[in-house]
Amino acid sequence: MSRYQRAIIRQKLPEHSAPALPGIAPILQRIYTLRGIQTAAELDYSLTALIPPDQLGGTREAAQLLHQLMVQQGKILIVADFDADGATSCALMMRSLQAMGAKQLQFMVPNRFADGYGLTPAIAEKALRLQPDLVVTVDNGISSIEGVQFLRERGIAVLVTDHHLAGSALPAANVIVNPNSPGEQFSSKHLAGVGVVFYVMIALRAYLRELGWFTEKGIAEPNLADFLDLVALGTVADVVKLDHNNRVLVNQGLARIRAGRCCELIRTIFRLAGKQIAAARASDLGFTVGPRLNAAGRLEDMSIGIEALLTDSPDKASSTAHLLEELNKERKAIESEMKQQALDDLDTIQLGELMPAGLCIYQEGWHQGVIGILASRIKERYHRPVIAFADGENETLKGSARSVSGVHIKDALEAIAAANPHLLEKFGGHAMAAGLSLKKADLAVFSQCFSDAVNQQLNGQPLTGEIFSDGSLLQESVSLDLAESLNEAGPWGQGFPEPLFDDRFDIIQQRIIGGTHAKMTLRPVGSQQIFEAIAFNQSEQLPADDRATIHAAYRLDINLYRGDRHLQLLIEYFQVI
């Protein structure tokens, strides 16, 4: 039985016609139209194109609260999340507040395994021992009702900065800044946690400028754009939608990374990974830097990563980068073993209509820090929402959910919780990803409820994997120059995908490299052109007949090898025809 369900490759259809964009090549005109671009303003990635900070509710109140603590030289404690978005959010706030003259700053990041997510009562109690005057949450807090209440009752001020969806009640914080708070009118709902922090820091700088703070204190007013490398990294790593506002932030951050104006850790990770920092792309942040930083939170303690983002010492950054490299290798090995176990189990389930619409997978001994990645991998294989579970404490399970287009995962969990009030101990998240916990004894009941909730949202729509392409590319002059121009036309990412094309090819040669990767030499059907191609982790799909014809969805890629640059096709998916 194939461990892949066949996907359907479809050409995207534009949602509307768009006027010609001046100075844009026809191929890019087509690509931009398919992504909903209608005006040249949507391709303006200058900082002046950002939505003004005063349009995000709570930023001025947050600035006033932070200023008050700075005047009093009060203790500010930042409570971060343990992923890359949380780590960059924390580092950004620490660096920005220090540059603006804050004196007493500390940070705390919960341990994924011992503490759980967010400002829980247990974390609030730990925070209290540090005797802060203000606790600031970054990339968490909007669901921390009890933890915030605990601190407020003890006279500690709380500022919540978050981007996750709120529940039915809001925490009793002094100030909340969240583009997804109920009633919030901010037009970009897709800011990552680090983007929210950036907006708060811009508002604080503007407020301090109004008050003459920098002149009074003899402090040079900081250029917060110098920290956009952190904003770009956190935004891409958190896989939030790259709407126009986020593309501005990522583009500006990448420009600074390419110029070498970035923190030492990012610079060092690029070097260790054999990447040219001068050619940095959003995909490098998502697939090279982000996973290594995340490895600290998945397997050890994200404090390691945050400290490294804060250091200006090349030696300390280098030692941490090597540690993160080893942790990431360990994470990959754990993930590979867990994925194999999950696939072996799922092979016993008949594919197709009999497979549950929503999959819940669990094996004793699975690693809590890797279940989110595992859920993503299984989702990609079977084209349906997946929740992977690992053992927690006291006979509980912790789950990490990943969804597909058409299924809002947090809404599904809310529907389950409403119909079964005692089934879920806690949950939170957004449309495409969520976290939850439940009693181990309730897994079977929950699995059925989850599949039912997914079916209800689908309302009869099939769960078929669809890959949407920008059409054929072979009518174009396919070259290194075209690959470079497509790279530079980004930033590409979630919600604004990198150009993907589809064509039919005859296989000239094929072989397996690295154990799981398919390396092929291809000739387009009816053409004499020859292309080198690679399909990562798809060796199982190679046909027995090495002269077969395939239909492939692919991107143009530039392969750097020993200083030489070669065009290759990066195949996202292929099937024999």
In the numeric block, the tokens 């920008």 are attached to: 470
User: CA–CA separation, 571 vs 184, rounded Å?
Assistant: 41
Same topology, domains 49-324 and 349-458? Answer is no
Residue 505 one-letter amino acid:
F
User: CA–CA separation, 429 vs 361, rounded Å?
Assistant: 19
Which CATH code of 2.60.40.10, 2.40.50.460, 3.40.50.720, 2.60.120.10 fits the domain covering 8-42+467-576? 2.40.50.460
User: CA–CA separation, 298 vs 293, rounded Å?
Assistant: 9
CA distances from 164 to 197, 212, 237, 295, 311 (A): 13, 34, 15, 22, 28
How many residues belong to the chain?
577
What confidence score (pLDDT) does residue 4 get?
A: 47
Where are the domains positioned within the chain? 8-42+467-576, 49-324, 349-458
List, for the chain, all residue ranges whose pLDDT scores fall below the cut of 70: 1-6, 348-354
Residue 149: partners with Cβ closer than 8 Å, 6 or more residues away = 171, 172
Bridge partners (DSSP) of residue 76 are 105, 134
Task: Annotate 252-278 with b (16+ C-beta within 10 A) or e (fewer).
Answer: bbbbbbeeeebbbbbbbbbeeeebebe
SS3 122: helix
pTM over 0.85: yes
Domain topology for 349-458: Diaminopimelate Epimerase; Chain A, domain 1 (3.10.310)
Residue 574: partners with Cβ closer than 8 Å, 6 or more residues away = 535, 538, 541, 550, 551, 552, 553
Closest CA to 103 of 137, 58, 134, 146: 134
For Cα atoms 16, 20, 22, give the angle at the middle one, nearest 5 degrees. Answer: 145
User: CA–CA separation, 167 vs 181, rounded Å?
Assistant: 9
Biggest CA pair distance of the chain: 77
Sign of the dihedral defined by the CA atoms of residues 143, 207, 157, 103, in that order = positive
* Both tokens assigned to 535: 């399909």
Reported as a single tens digit per residue, the pLDDT across 524-545 is 998 989 999 999 989 988 998 8
What confidence score (pLDDT) does residue 348 get?
A: 65
Task: Annotate 138-148 with b (16+ C-beta within 10 A) or e (fewer).
Answer: bbbbbbbbebb
Reported as a single tens digit per residue, the pLDDT across 90-100 is 999 999 999 99
CB 431 within 8 A of CB 352: no
CB 443 within 8 A of CB 453: no
* Both tokens assigned to 546: 């090495």
Residue 293: partners with Cβ closer than 8 Å, 6 or more residues away = 84, 87, 233, 237, 265, 269, 305, 309, 324
Say how many CA atoms lie within 13 Å of 500 toward its Cβ.
21
The 10 Å Cβ neighbour count of residue 354 is 7
Per CATH, the number for 49-324 is: 3.90.1640.30
What confidence score (pLDDT) does residue 5 get?
A: 58
Which value, in Å, is the radius of gyration of the alpha carbons in the chain? Answer: 24
Bridge partners (DSSP) of residue 401 are 387, 434
Phi, psi of 47 (to 5 degrees): -65, -25
What confidence score (pLDDT) does residue 560 get?
A: 78
What confidence score (pLDDT) does residue 2 get?
A: 39
What confidence score (pLDDT) does residue 351 get?
A: 47
Residue 166 one-letter amino acid:
A
What confidence score (pLDDT) does residue 561 get?
A: 73
| Residue 154 per-residue DSSP state | T
